[in-house]
């Protein structure tokens, strides 16, 4: 019997298992990364967005709630690295760029000022003088964070969190959860039972569901119950450059862009209905294959398409974006990053689960079940705090952050109902 079973071994789940393992007996349920994600596996329909080497982190964003979660998580990166022995963060800085005077960049500046983030506000011209290999529109405004900003490896972060959790006694069951239910143990005690695809049954006093975009496709929250989220297919392009070019632009920071774009940028790019050009870009990162890639992804609102079934999710992860979308994003990289030679490029895919509030769900379904999902495309950098908050709420009944708990209440698509069986 475990004190807590965390279902979902991704970014939030691994963080939760790490934090809970400090004071309780914990089991973490979730499969490892597949050996060949790009090769369709008929026997696998569960994947993860953390199968990658680059996610942007910074402390000031346009949303003060996400900013606060990031500010709680980022200073812990060093401790995670020391405890696990695994490097997870590269402090290369981050540029947040947008049209001067418009909503996005104004909100970023307001958060940076209010939260006393050590960021510089620059003109587009000044930012371009710092990074002459970047085509930054002269009329744009830039918030530049040089410290506690850059990119993390989500793959290594998950590995690091699980490594620490195991050191603390956590048991990792590398299987997929099929269902969760309440059962009666003995005459009166009610406990939680997690069943895996192999038929394994795991008993715990409490369960935390951290299964991201896949939550709706298993019987995890109760019969016919699913979280109120929308599932967006998100595409990225990874453009390969030489080691020589990577060294030439080695000072390149991570980039977030919300604006009208540069006059010399490609016009053939998927756009968000609210603003013409939205993307994020990572500097050259050396991937496990030994090659250097610059990665660019578009806004999850850029493509008016949603995923509704497990089969659609599997197809998207197995086959990824089409050739035209991949080329459009490769062209945008070449519009922004100057004088680099393309060796190759390819597309990749993940899925973003978006809640109506645009904030994560960190809540209790009932006294024995908690939930930590709804990354909304922003959660990787903040996953350590999301996992910690979920554990403190479920296990200790505490909410120890200055943000109102109501901001993170879960919304379900149907009435919650549980069934109990005799054990």
Q: Whole domain around residue 297: which residue ranges?
A: 94-146+230-354
- Residue 42: the pLDDT is 67
- Residue 224: the pLDDT is 83
Q: Where are the alpha helices (DSSP H) in 320-364?
A: 323-336
The tokens 């970023």 sit on which residue?
Answer: 108
Q: Which residue from 343, 303, 344, 295 is spatially nearest to 322, judged by alpha carbons?
A: 303
- Is 60 domain-assigned? no
Question: Which residues make Cβ contacts (< 8 Å) with residue 321, sequence separation at least 6?
Answer: 233, 235, 347, 348, 349
- Is 269 domain-assigned? yes
The tokens 């969190």 sit on which residue?
Answer: 161
Q: What is the pLDDT of residues 138-179, one digit of tens each?
A: 999 999 999 999 999 999 999 999 999 999 999 999 999 999
**Does one domain contain both 215 and 159?**
yes
Total number of domains constituting the chain: 2
Helices 64-73 and 103-114, interaxial angle, to 10°?
50
**Does one domain contain both 43 and 187?**
yes
- Spatial separation of the C-alpha atoms in residues 324 and 157, rounded to whole Å: 32
**Does one domain contain both 362 and 348?**
no
**Does one domain contain both 107 and 137?**
yes
- Is 65 domain-assigned? no
- Is 190 domain-assigned? yes
**Does one domain contain both 284 and 415?**
no
**Does one domain contain both 313 and 350?**
yes
**List of the chain residues with pLDDT < 70:** 36-43, 187, 304, 414-423
**Does one domain contain both 274 and 328?**
yes
**Does one domain contain both 263 and 343?**
yes
Q: Which residue from 412, 417, 409 is spatially nearest to 364, judged by alpha carbons?
A: 409
- Residue 36: the pLDDT is 60
Domain stops at, among 354, 369, 388: 354
- Spatial separation of the C-alpha atoms in residues 280 and 58, rounded to whole Å: 13
- Is 196 domain-assigned? yes
Helices 383-396 and 154-167, interaxial angle, to 10°?
40
CATH number of the domain within which 14 lies: 3.50.50.60
Provide the 8-state DSSP code for 412: B
Residues in the chain: 423
**Does one domain contain both 142 and 34?**
no
- Spatial separation of the C-alpha atoms in residues 240 and 293, rounded to whole Å: 4
**Does one domain contain both 250 and 237?**
yes
- Is 383 domain-assigned? yes
């Amino acid at each position: 019997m475990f004190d807590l079973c965390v279902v979902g071994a991704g970014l939030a789940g691994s963080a939760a298992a790490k934090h809970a393992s400090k004071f309780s007996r914990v089991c973490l349920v979730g499969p490892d990364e597949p050996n060949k994600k790009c090769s369709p596996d008929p026997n696998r329909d569960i994947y993860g967005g953390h199968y990658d080497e680059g996610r942007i982190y910074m402390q000031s964003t346009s949303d003060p709630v996400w900013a606060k979660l990031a500010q709680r998580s980022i200073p812990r990166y060093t401790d995670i690295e020391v405890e696990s022995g695994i490097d997870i963060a590269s402090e290369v800085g981050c540029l947040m760029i947008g049209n001067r005077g418009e909503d996005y960049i104004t909100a970023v500046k307001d958060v940076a000022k209010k939260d006393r983030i050590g960021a510089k506000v620059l003109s587009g011209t000044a930012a371009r003088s710092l990074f002459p290999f970047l085509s930054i529109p002269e009329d744009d405004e830039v918030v530049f964070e040089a410290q506690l900003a850059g990119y993390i490896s989500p793959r290594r972060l998950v590995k690091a969190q699980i490594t620490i959790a195991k050191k603390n006694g956590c048991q990792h069951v590398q299987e997929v959860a099929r269902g969760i239910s309440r059962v009666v143990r003995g005459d009166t005690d009610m406990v939680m039972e997690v069943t895996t695809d192999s038929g394994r049954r795991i008993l715990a006093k409490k369960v935390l569901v951290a299964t991201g975009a896949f939550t709706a496709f298993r019987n995890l929250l109760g019969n016919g119950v699913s979280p109120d989220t929308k599932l967006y297919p998100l595409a990225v392009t990874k453009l390969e450059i030489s080691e020589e070019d990577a060294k030439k632009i080695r000072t390149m920071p991570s980039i977030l862009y919300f604006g009208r774009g540069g006059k010399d940028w490609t016009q053939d790019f998927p756009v968000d209905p609210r603003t013409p050009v939205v993307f994020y870009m990572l500097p050259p990162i050396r991937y496990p294959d030994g090659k250097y890639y610059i990665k660019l992804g578009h806004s999850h609102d850029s493509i008016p398409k949603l995923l509704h079934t497990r089969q659609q999710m599997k197809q998207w992860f197995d086959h990824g974006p089409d050739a035209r979308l991949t080329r459009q994003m490769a062209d945008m990289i070449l519009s922004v990053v100057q004088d680099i030679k393309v060796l190759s490029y390819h597309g990749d895919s993940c899925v973003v689960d978006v809640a109506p509030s645009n904030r994560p769900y960190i809540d209790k379904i009932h006294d024995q079940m908690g939930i930590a999902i709804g990354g909304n495309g922003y959660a990787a950098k903040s996953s350590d705090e999301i996992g910690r908050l979920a554990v403190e709420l479920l296990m200790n009944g505490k909410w120890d952050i200055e943000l109102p708990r109501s901001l993170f209440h879960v919304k379900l698509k149907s009435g919650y109902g549980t069934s109990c069986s005799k054990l």
